[in-house]
Amino acid sequence: MIQLLKKEDQFNRTIFNGNFIANKPVANGVKDNVKPYSSLFYWSHARAIDKCEFGLHPHEGFEIMTFILEGNVAHYDTATKVWTPLEKGDFQVIQSNSGIQHQERITKGTRNFQIWFDPNFNEAVKKAPSYTDYHSKDFKPIIENGIKTIIYVGKGSIANVLTPGLSIKRLFFDKKGRYNLQLNKNSSYTFYVLKGDTIIDGNALTSDDAVRISNLENLEVEFEIDGELFYIETPLVPNYKMIWS
């Protein structure tokens, strides 16, 4: 199964008087084509046109990850009770579990992903909340299947997460060419085009487009030059009931 999610077909939203723009390839309760699946509940790509601040607000049960693509974010939460800076290449993991509150100050020009997972909500809410920062220096690119790759979550990463079977990677295509990615047919994937024009399984995509994939073992990707993909792999069928099911 391949489902295209062009930017204009995602859930697009603007807040803070036009100063914060987000396109969301995964979001609950808004459009059928972007609804949650597997353990992936929400995925937002946001741009701060000017500085913005999200005031203190609560989360419970979900595992929330924020990846800083450009700029920086200052983060406060009721677990650490300190303001923590996050810069380009850093990411944070909030295991909200039994309940946590946090707030964020976002500088002008910042771009980030915020992604939510259900790590087994009914079990997570029995645990104490936690918060962990990870920094760009801890995630050096490796060559995997001939492609420069950063492994944020999964085998080979230092990140400790609750969500079972989760893998998150960023792929860099420095040379023009056609690449064949080996996939797990028992997994679901969302690929997000961070940079460049690409053809994925015969479909033309550009920056901020995405594609959902399942039940495939091979995926053909073609870039002209200097492209980037960010992808999330989750189990095709998790072994617990999702909170939204």
pLDDT of amino acid 77: 83
Q: What is the DSSP string of 64-102?
A: EEEEEEESEEEEEETTT-SEEEEETT-EEEEE-TT-EEE
Which pair of tokens denotes residue 64?
């929330």
pLDDT of amino acid 242: 93
CA distances to 12, 175, 218 from 226, in Å: 26, 6, 22
Q: What is the mean pLDDT of residues 220-227?
A: 88
* CA–CA gap between residue 208 and residue 84 (Å, rounded): 28
Neighbours of 76 (CB within 10 A): 16
Give which of 101, 103, 107, 60 is closest to 87, Cα–Cα: 107
Say if residue 152's pLDDT is above 90.
Answer: yes
Say if residue 212's pLDDT is above 90.
Answer: yes
Say if residue 238's pLDDT is above 90.
Answer: yes
Q: What is the mean pLDDT of residues 8-36?
A: 93
Q: What is the mean pLDDT of residues 1-17?
A: 93
Q: What is the mean pLDDT of residues 207-214?
A: 96
Say if residue 146's pLDDT is above 90.
Answer: no
Long-range contacts at 210-213 (CB < 8 A, ≥ 24 apart)? 210/5, 210/10, 210/25, 211/2, 211/3, 211/4, 211/5, 212/1, 212/2, 212/3, 212/5, 212/25, 212/37, 212/188, 213/1, 213/2, 213/3, 213/183, 213/188, 213/189
pLDDT class for 104, splitting at 50, 70, 90? very high
Q: What is the mean pLDDT of residues 148-152?
A: 96
pLDDT tens for 155-208 read 999 999 999 999 999 999 988 888 999 999 999 999 999 999 999 989 999 999
* CA–CA gap between residue 243 and residue 245 (Å, rounded): 6
pLDDT tens for 62-99 read 999 999 999 999 988 888 888 989 999 999 999 999 99
pLDDT tens for 23-63 read 999 999 888 899 999 999 999 999 999 999 989 999 999 99
pLDDT tens for 122-137 read 999 999 998 899 999 9
Q: What is the mean pLDDT of residues 217-238?
A: 93
